[in-house]
Amino acid sequence: MCGIVCLFDAKQKTEILRPQVLEMSKKIRHRGPDWSGVFQDEKVVFSHERLAIVDPTSGKQPLFTKDGKVVLAVNGEIYNHRELKKNFRIMNFRPSLIVK
């Protein structure tokens, strides 16, 4: 099972809070030892520790829409993803290339 640590609606600068989020993420790294990803903006910091089950060579997170307006960190495998993708082409998420 993956591990996700999130800080939303930050009241301090996220540059100051980011090390704390990453330290918390280290404590759950055993839940997702295959890959780590992080996202940060002015109000949010989240980290994702990935446990690769179905496709260990892809699935980097966080996920971004093409326009970059929506960012997601998720846990779980979607086994019928090819079928679902046909119905949800409008979202068209792409994996993050950000690595901590």
| Residues acting as catalytic residues | 2
Return the C-alpha torsion angle 45, 30, 95, 74, nearest 10.
-70
Number of C-beta neighbours around residue 74 at 10 A: 14
